[in-house]
Structure 1
Amino acid sequence: MVLCLMNKRIFLINTLILTAGSLFMRMLNIGYRVFISDRIGAAGLGLYQLIFSVFILAITISTSGISLAVTRLVAEAMAKDDPGYAKGAVRKGIACSLTLSLAAMAVLYLLAQPIADVLLNEPSAARPLQMLAPGLPFMAVSASLRGYFIAMRKALRPATAEILEQLATIGIAVTLFALLAPQTLEGACLVLMLGSTAGEMVSCLYNGILYLWDVRRLHGHRARGKGALWGILRIALPSMTGYTARNILSAVENLLIPTGLRKNGSNAVSAMAQYGVIQGMVMPVLYFPAALLSALAALLVPEMAEANAAGKSRAIARATGRAMQMTLLFSFLIMGIFLGFSRDIGLTFYKNEQTGILLRILAPLVPLMYLDGIVDSILKGLDQQMSSLKYNLSDSALRVVLIYSLIPVYGLKGYIAVVFFSTIFNASLSIHRLIQVARVPIQMIDWVAKPLLCMALSVSLVTLLLRFSPFSFFLPYQCVILQVCVTPPLYAAFLFLCGSLGREDIRWVRSLTGRRPAAAPAQANSD
């Protein structure tokens, strides 16, 4: 009905699987960060984030674009009933990512000390960086296999692999903390990084076993790699170049933040603590609900790639409009929860009021943050990765300039201003490009104005409810449970009353769970 190219039941099941996996992963991640902050404090969490800002650059060089390329090539090959080419694409993807990851591993291991001394200004970060390096090849292989599973609509496999990786990482780190009880910040970071590397190894082994099991059904088709390497490079290189450049700029940005805070008057420990609160506490909570959308974003890439390859422009426009509508309706709800209940959320997760204050300040950006993620995935599926590359690079370059200029003068307020400017700038460019490509009409009243009103009413009612006994005596975590349980149903009810959600939307959701009706040939060609 909306996505006439795909089996909607499979799409829904895969979305639910990836959503559940992503949500569970983010819950584990926040719990893990609470554990880390309890053990090493906000300043230690800041150092942990700083080390990972460098490691993420190595990850980008090793894996960026490969998973997307494998997903698109396998999806297109299976749509053309060419399993041999699909197998060849996976093999070429693994070969490319392994080559890059081994080079990145060697560079990171050999240059860890200069990076720690000169770039991070933290000599104790060298050994943790070296501990992370061996995990890169395992991450590279897992990225290629994840691309295959997403293209084949086997969402359960990568979802369980990521959960297994996170459980292994946390389990090993917590066990080592209990056994070794590290007394120094360097020792604590070594334990954390060892857990991360071990988790990547476990995940890679699990993914490899699942792939070998799954690919047996294609045993009658010989792998054909001819043209696959060029296809991977054509898709991956723009993303790889863009993500590498963006993450270089992001690493520079992360180095400039604590430096700028020190120039603004904070001492080294205080600056690192502020950095830890922002990057290690606030941002993970802010993006936590986006787990409910990240699965949809991942699955939209192969769906849009197939639709684009078949020239189904009307199907693309309908699917894009529906994805944008649902993303906005969801994100306005989350924005309202952060605006109204940020203090309780901050105290519940981190026992830290500053976290709640920053969550409330940044909450108005949630709709643009979440929508930008969905829009970016659709653009990639429509072969518009070069546009995303230009927008992301421009955004990152501007962030570096603004951080360098504003934080030494205005401190934390300067950083908040940069986040606002960057989010609005990047999202505006991406949304404008998608509207041009997909030709989707934006319904401002039903998608923006009415949801904002419904959000304000539902949050206000729950806030009033909490002022009356016995709710006024609730502890912060009890308030959060009540807020999260009561606000969404109220919001949904108001959406129905004002017409932002209606019978057509319910029919669309129900159509996802049923079988796709057979379309007449003439109708199929009309798109």
Structure 2
Amino acid sequence: MSKFLKGTLVLMAATLIVKILGFVNRIVIARLIGEEGVGLYMMVFPSFILVVTLTQMGLPVAISRSVAAAEARGDIAKMKRILAVSLSITLSLSLLFTPALLMMAPYLSKTLFTDPRTYYPLIAITPAIPVIAVSSVLRGYFQGRQNMKPAAYSQVLEQVVRIGLIALFTKQMLPHGIEYAAAGAMAAATCGELISLLYLLLMFRFNKTFLLRRRFFRAIRTGKETAKELFEVALPTTGSRLIGSLGWFFEPIVVTQSLAIAGVTAVVATKQYGVLTGYALPVMFLPSFVTLALSTSLVPAVSEAYAKKQYRLLEHRVQEALRFCLVTGGLSVLLLFLYAEPLMQFMYHSTNGARFIVLMAPFFLFYYYQGPLQAVLQALNLANAAMINSLIGVSVKLAVIFIFASQPQFGIYGAALGMAASILLVTLLHLATVFKKITLTLNVHQYAKFSFVMITSFFISRFLNGLWLDKAGSFTYLAAGAAASALCYFLLSLLLGLITKQDLSRMPLIKRFIK
């Protein structure tokens, strides 16, 4: 097995584990601090992510590329300059933005979030910013050397430490108030990031081929060309992510301000936002790890076919990817729509988020399409178009949230409608952009078959669930019902050709989309 393939498999396995652990982390937080505490947590988190994005400036990707090129030439001095310049940039930015966030915390909490209690979790998470700044540089360095294990293991370690400390910190702080418990959860995240950084530093010490501390400042002074080279890659890369982070930053602000106009108190708004973003959304985002893995494989496959002008092969690969997303995404939507209440009860010991899942699940079929379409746009050198589509989607989302959430008859459901509208719009814009660039046939028969499978599976599932609904406990009903629905969906998809025999023989191998 090649070094590249081995590293990719390690990183993909770690990504899946991290996603699962991250989901467990959210369940633990929800059970310990409840809807109101989760609301405080989720209001603060987008601000933190925005500052982290500004601090990183897309440098991890640029570092990875530059280190790989320097190692291929055996240029150790260049690798040292890359690390020195990257660390100086990210640390300088973190020393600028960290105090800025601390100074803005009172204004953000009292005025923009309309809930002064968000001040404490915001203060608790801020110290993680410089820690993540250094960690991102080291991860980029290791990935550039095609050594994926330190970066992968550090992410797993960070999640494990966070989950372990959340229970300890929140239980200690809960008697002092829900805001202190939320701050305890944020402090656990900060500790997890710190342990992750210590592990990366230890691995760097064992694996380095040079002494970074020797002539460190001289490497910075002579690194102007290196900095220019890094930013040429970093700035375009960070565009879409920055737009997403800005949209996420403004989201809780627009939601809370809109709900205040609708007459909802700050405490109730915090609780409702916590149910939507901390309970319902993570459940709907979880199945996307399948399309994420597919997107990773799709970029080089589409790039290769497009470069060789093999347009029939290109269309085949894109159609196969979209069919796979349609089938897997359809099953996810069916199960989420049918079993929202028992699923939420099983995970969170509360069914409050089920209403949002029922409302938004059909729109998430388009979200599962979004990843592969974004990958196709990147492969076709249309990253700028994808960024513009994302900007339009963010703007529409915030506008719809403000219009509907400020109306008493909609309230927090206006926020859910805004998110759903954004998902639908961005996916359609991505699809339209792809249609403009390449010839892509719209397979009407395939979508007709899919609609028949979804509708038939839904009614069969409802009929079967009615037979044992009163005869089983919540978990038994969930397990039996979900298994029956999935089996029905699978058999109908196989019968109508949405799933082929070739799919069954190759399903364990994601590489089937690039053959």
d(CA) in 2 for partners of 1:95, 1:134: 18
TM-score (norm 2): 0.83
Instruction: Tell whether 2:143 aligns with 1:143.
Output: no
d(CA) in 1 for partners of 2:459, 2:8: 32
Any residues of structure 2 matched to 1:222-233 within 5 Å, and which? 229-233=227-231
d(CA) in 2 for partners of 1:211, 1:458: 53
Equivalenced residues, count: 500
- One-letter amino acid matched to 1:53: P
Instruction: Tell whether 2:295 aligns with 1:266.
Output: no
d(CA) in 2 for partners of 1:136, 1:110: 15
Cα contact 1:242–1:392 (8 A) shared by 2: yes
Distance 1:453 1:297, change over 3 A: same
Q: Which residue of 2 aligns with 1:394?
A: 392
Q: Which residue of 1 aligns with 2:467?
A: 468
- One-letter amino acid matched to 1:432: A
CA RMSD of aligned residues (A): 3.8
Distance 1:354 1:132, change over 3 A: closer
> Aligned with 2:126: secondary structure?
helix
> Aligned with 2:403: secondary structure?
helix
Report deviation, 1:367: 1.7
Any residues of structure 2 matched to 1:439-518 within 5 Å, and which? 439-446=439-446, 448-469=447-468, 472-506=470-504, 509=507
Report deviation, 1:466: 3.3
Report deviation, 1:24: 3.6
d(CA) in 1 for partners of 2:500, 2:113: 53
Report deviation, 1:208: 4.1
d(CA) in 2 for partners of 1:317, 1:104: 45
Q: Which residue of 1 aligns with 2:183?
A: 190
Distance 1:434 1:272, change over 3 A: same
- One-letter amino acid matched to 1:466: N
Distance 1:192 1:509, change over 3 A: closer
Cα contact 1:321–1:442 (8 A) shared by 2: no
Instruction: Tell whether 2:39 aligns with 1:40.
Output: no
- One-letter amino acid matched to 2:258: G
Any residues of structure 2 matched to 1:202-281 within 5 Å, and which? 202-210=195-203, 229-281=227-279
d(CA) in 2 for partners of 1:15, 1:328: 25
Q: Which residue of 2 aligns with 1:118?
A: 111
Cα contact 2:47–2:249 (8 A) shared by 1: yes
Report deviation, 1:229: 3.7
Q: Which residue of 2 aligns with 1:3?
A: none
Distance 1:74 1:113, change over 3 A: same
Q: Which residue of 2 aligns with 1:416?
A: 416
- One-letter amino acid matched to 1:388: A
Q: Which residue of 2 aligns with 1:220?
A: none
Relative contact order, CA 8 A, sep 6+: which one is greater?
1
Cα contact 2:37–2:179 (8 A) shared by 1: no
Distance 1:145 1:304, change over 3 A: farther
Instruction: Tell whether 2:123 aligns with 1:130.
Output: yes
- Which runs of 5 or more residues in structure 1 are unaligned? 1-6, 218-222, 518-527
Report deviation, 1:295: 3.5
Cα contact 1:61–1:244 (8 A) shared by 2: yes
Report deviation, 1:364: 0.6
Any residues of structure 2 matched to 1:36-435 within 5 Å, and which? 36-70=29-63, 77=69, 82=73, 84=75, 87=79, 91=83, 93-147=86-140, 157-179=150-172, 181-210=174-203, 229-298=227-296, 300=298, 303=300, 307=304, 314=311, 317-409=315-407, 410-435=410-435
Partner deviation per Cα, 1:9-33 (whole Å, 9 max, x = no partner): 975x767655554444344333333
Report deviation, 1:330: 0.9
Using the TM superposition, name which of 129-138 and 25-34 deviates more. Answer: 25-34
d(CA) in 1 for partners of 2:144, 2:462: 44
Distance 1:72 1:60, change over 3 A: same
> Aligned with 1:466: secondary structure?
helix
Report deviation, 1:495: 2.2
d(CA) in 1 for partners of 2:253, 2:87: 32
- One-letter amino acid matched to 1:454: V
Cα contact 2:405–2:411 (8 A) shared by 1: yes
- Which runs of 5 or more residues in structure 2 are unaligned? 211-218
Distance 1:17 1:415, change over 3 A: same
Cα contact 1:89–1:232 (8 A) shared by 2: no
Report deviation, 1:467: 3.2
TM-score (norm 1): 0.81
d(CA) in 1 for partners of 2:265, 2:30: 19
Cα contact 2:457–2:488 (8 A) shared by 1: yes
d(CA) in 2 for partners of 1:199, 1:225: 32
Using the TM superposition, name which of 185-194 and 379-388 deviates more. Answer: 379-388
Q: Which residue of 2 aligns with 1:520?
A: none
Report deviation, 1:275: 1.0
d(CA) in 1 for partners of 2:423, 2:429: 10
Cα contact 1:317–1:439 (8 A) shared by 2: yes
Report deviation, 1:147: 4.6
Percent identity at matched positions? 22
Using the TM superposition, name which of 329-338 and 285-294 deviates more. Answer: 285-294
Cα contact 1:65–1:240 (8 A) shared by 2: yes
> Aligned with 1:353: secondary structure?
coil
Using the TM superposition, name which of 355-364 and 20-29 deviates more. Answer: 20-29
Distance 1:336 1:377, change over 3 A: same
Report deviation, 1:489: 4.2
- One-letter amino acid matched to 1:103: L
Distance 1:275 1:127, change over 3 A: closer
Cα contact 1:15–1:299 (8 A) shared by 2: no
Cα contact 2:173–2:181 (8 A) shared by 1: no
Report deviation, 1:348: 1.6
Cα contact 2:284–2:357 (8 A) shared by 1: yes
